[in-house]
Amino acid sequence: MKSMKTIKVEASKNYEVLIGGGILPLAGELTAKIKKPGKAIIVSDGNVFPLYGETAVKSYKNAGFEVKSFVFEHGEQSKSMETAVRLLEFMATEGLSRGDLAIALGGGVTGDLTGFAASVYLRGIDYVQIPTTFLAAIDSSVGGKTGVNLAAGKNLAGAFHQPAAVFCDVDTFATLPEEVFADGAAEAIKYGCIADEKLFETLLNNDIKENIADVAETCVKIKRGLVEEDEFDGGARRLLNFGHTAGHAIEALSGYKISHGQAVAKGMYIMAKRCGDDAAAQILRALEKYKLDANCPYPAEALAQKALSDKKRNGGEITIVLLNKIGEAYLKKIAVGELVNYFR
């Protein structure tokens, strides 16, 4: 195996995030170090399973796990109660018990769905994240936010449930379509915007594919810091929502045809315009580099209306994320009626 980075996360549960090449074939062995092998269900979508399912199944079987696979149709539409219920029924039919394991092999959709099912099955079983998208590697696989979408909006049903481990094999990024890689770049740009100007410069001026493991490590460390400070999202962790209030509304309004990363890109640009011209211009340059479209097809009123049916509403106020400058973000509480003005 090539060099591997280890990032320790200390939350309500402590776990390690391993990042590097060649990790997937070792996932079973690495899991067996932290968990006695029993039944394991590998959850994956119809794109990822044909590419990496066999390697994962073999690795877990060789490590002594009794492995079954649950494969669902790829795409955000599958991040639903319907799929979660099918997965839960599958876990029950396969007779998983409290000590058994779910394994999320895929992108953020797979991770959020698997984590959610693992959080409620028998009131909580362990799960491992094996992210195969850049986005999942740097964002959704770490931090324990799990969930599914409801008709009313994004991520409206969910739970905090930290993974037992995260195994990120950057070799799996080789098969990512360009636009899916770009979705991850949007979240990387977000980290740069809220916490790390140097990262922002790196994203802007370098071919990050050449040292993707380093970039992923930088991003995960930023997330780790915010999760450790505020695991349950009452304060500092909310900085990660930069661009997401509008972004989630854009995703929902598009019927999830606009991807999470593309929607967040638009959302960041919308908010940056309220943070002084320079931030907006810099963000635009970064988005353009990754072929992320900054233009939002929906009017401010529609965005605000959708956003206010979302969970981040708290009484008559909503917390938004703004930038002092690239690399420095802050939270601001505003009256819900004001939100629309920030989206114009």
According to the binding rule CB under 6 A, does residue 153 interact with ligand NAD? no
Least distance (Å) between residue 254 CB and ligand NAD: 13
Q: Does 260 bind ligand NAD (CB under 6 A)?
A: yes
The structure tokens 């930069």 sit at 242
The verdict on 145 binding ligand NAD (CB under 6 A) reads yes
Q: Is 48 in the site for ligand NAD (CB under 6 A)?
A: yes
112 touches ligand NAD by CB under 6 A: yes
Contact flag: residue 307 with ligand NAD (CB under 6 A): no
| Structure-block tokens of residue 63 | 């490590």
User: Closer CB to ligand NAD, residue 109 or residue 294?
Assistant: 109
Q: Pick the binder of ligand NAD from 132, 162, 218, 262 (CB under 6 A).
A: 132
Q: Which of 298, 211, 299, 201 is nearest to 258 (CA)?
A: 298
Residue 224 corresponds to which tokens in the numbers above? 């780790």
Q: For residue 163, list its beta bridge partners.
A: none
Task: Pick the binder of ligand NAD from 20, 21, 28, 143 (CB under 6 A).
Answer: 143
Query: Radius of gyration (Cα) for the chain, nearest Å?
Result: 19
The gap from C-alpha 298 to its chain's centroid, in whole angstroms, comes to 24
Question: Among 2-10, 11-19, 108-116, 308-316, which window interacts with ligand NAD (CB under 6 A)?
Answer: 108-116
How far apart are the C-alpha atoms of 216 and 5, rounded to whole Å?
Answer: 10
Find the binder of ligand NAD among 20, 21, 28, 107 (CB under 6 A): 107
- Tell me if 51 contacts ligand NAD by CB under 6 A: yes
Number of neighbouring beta carbons within 10 Å of residue 176: 18
Residue 330 Cβ, how far from ligand NAD at the closest point, in Å? 21
Closer Cβ to ligand NAD, 39 or 128, answer by number: 128
Residue 129 in contact with ligand NAD, rule: CB under 6 A: no
Pick 97 or 175: Cβ nearer ligand NAD: 175
Name residue 149's amino acid.
N
Q: Which two tokens stand for residue 231?
A: 């695991």
d(CA 78, CA 116): 13
Tokens of 312: 């981040």
In whole angstroms, the minimum distance from the beta carbon of 79 to ligand NAD comes to: 5
Question: What residues numbered 167-226 form the site for ligand NAD, per CB under 6 A?
Answer: 172, 175-176, 180, 183
Is residue 110 a contact point for ligand NAD (CB under 6 A)? yes
The dihedral over CA atoms of 178, 184, 188, 194, expressed in degrees to the nearest 10, equals 130
**Site membership for ligand NAD, residue 282 (CB under 6 A):** no
Question: Pairing between strand 317-325 and 313-314?
Answer: antiparallel
Q: Given candidates 19, 57, 135, 296, which one binds ligand NAD under the rule CB under 6 A?
A: 135
- In terms of C-beta density within 10 A (0-12 exposed, 13-18 middle, 19 or more buried), how is residue 52 classed? buried
Among 21, 57, 76, 194, binds ligand NAD (CB under 6 A): 76
DSSP annotation string for 43-65: EEETTHIIIIIHHHHHHHHHTT-
Q: Which of 106, 192, 243, 327 binds ligand NAD (CB under 6 A)?
A: 106
- Closest approach, Cβ 256 to ligand NAD, in A, equals 8
Q: How far is the CB of 73 from ligand NAD (least distance, A)?
A: 9
Binding residue for ligand NAD, selected from 133, 162, 245, 282, defined by CB under 6 A: 133
Helices (H), the chain: 27-34, 48, 54-62, 81-93, 108-120, 134-135, 178-195, 197-205, 212-229, 244-253, 260-272, 277-289, 300-308, 339-342
**Does 250 interact with ligand NAD (rule: CB under 6 A)?**
no
CB 245 within 8 A of CB 190: no
Q: Which residues bind ligand NAD (CB under 6 A)?
A: 45, 47-48, 51, 74-76, 79, 106-110, 112, 132-133, 135-136, 139-140, 143, 145, 155, 172, 175-176, 180, 183, 260-261
